[in-house]
Structures are given as C-alpha cells and as structure tokens.
Amino acid sequence: MRFLLVDHITDWQSESFIKGVKNIAMSEDYLEFHFPKTPVVPGVLLLEAMAQLAGWFEAKASDFKRWMLMNKITKGSFYGFALPGDQVEMEVRPLVAVGTKKRAYQGIAGIGGRKAVRAEFEGEVVELSQLEDIAEQKRFFEILTRQFRLE
C-alpha cells in the first residue's frame, strides 16, 4: 500500500520553501486502527507527508530529475493531534546541504493556526526516473499545484 499524503501544493519558491496541505478524511485506512473508536492521524504519517513535500521540492528544483527519500529524523516534536476533518498545513525548507547525495530539511505542520509537528530530517537524493515515470510526475505536480488543464 502506498500513501500519497500531499493533497495540494499551495506555494513554492525555488531554493527557499514549499508549502502544501493534507486533508484528513474519516475514510483514511489507517484511522480504523489508530486508535479504534478514537481516530487520530499517526504523527509519523505527518512526518512522511512533510518528507513527500520535500520530495516535490527536490523534483521541481531539479526539473524532475531528482527525488528525496527520507532516511533520518534528526529532530522531531509533536504538539497535538490531527483528526478527521482537519486540514494540515505544511511548510518545508531546505537546510544546508549535507553533500551531493543527501539533503536536509526543516518542516512544520499546523492545524488551524496551531502547531502540530516540527521536525528536521535528512534523506538520500535519487534519480526520479528510478522511482517513477517523469512525465506522470510532472502531470501530477500540475494537478497538485492546480496548473493542469482538463483535456
């Protein structure tokens, strides 16, 4: 199973930041088990959403040649819960490069103006073509940024 945890990319600036949202629906599979009869989004999935946003940042910055795969969380703090019906607003900023094959990012996620998660994480930079079809990813980026045209 693959979770796509970025529903909309709302803003980005090359070399500076990327912002996006994750809308939490009661029908999300993981809510059935976390926790039974008290659905709460696992904090680690909010971290994964920020990592996916960082992947989109890397893809856009490299004209869809690269992607970032998170492999280390260097700092992480959880401040509250995300519940069904919430819209999680995320912002990810690159930190100083760790090398040519690694990147570091700082992310923050909030709900209705309150902080939910703050983290710093690192990841390996890989060729996007090894993971996905580049044309499909460009089209998906257009959909996420609302730049697509119905044909």
CATH of the domain at 79: 3.10.129.10
Q: Give the domain range for residue 53.
A: 8-144
State the pLDDT at residue 107: 98
In a domain, 68, yes or no: yes
User: What are the pLDDT digits (tens) for 2-22?
Assistant: 789 999 999 999 889 999 999
State the pLDDT at residue 97: 72
In a domain, 3, yes or no: no
State the pLDDT at residue 151: 62
In a domain, 122, yes or no: yes
Q: Can you tell me the distance from the alpha carbon of 94 to that of 61, in angstroms, rounded to the nearest whole number? A: 11
In a domain, 43, yes or no: yes
In a domain, 2, yes or no: no
Place 98 in a pLDDT band, splitting at 50, 70 and 90: low
Whether residue 8 lies in the annotated active site: no
pTM of the complete model: 0.93
In a domain, 89, yes or no: yes
Place 96 in a pLDDT band, splitting at 50, 70 and 90: confident
- For residue 39, report the phi and psi dihedrals to the nearest 5 degrees: -70, 120
In a domain, 22, yes or no: yes
* Burial annotation 94-122 (CB, 10 A radius, 16+ → b, else e): beeeeeeeebbbbbbbbbeeeebbbbbbb
Closest CA to 43 of 150, 94, 115, 129: 115
Q: Could you give the number of structural domains in the chain? A: 1
State the pLDDT at residue 1: 53
* Catalytically annotated residue among 8, 10, 17, 34: 34
User: What are the pLDDT digits (tens) for 47-79?
Assistant: 999 999 999 999 999 999 999 999 999 999 999
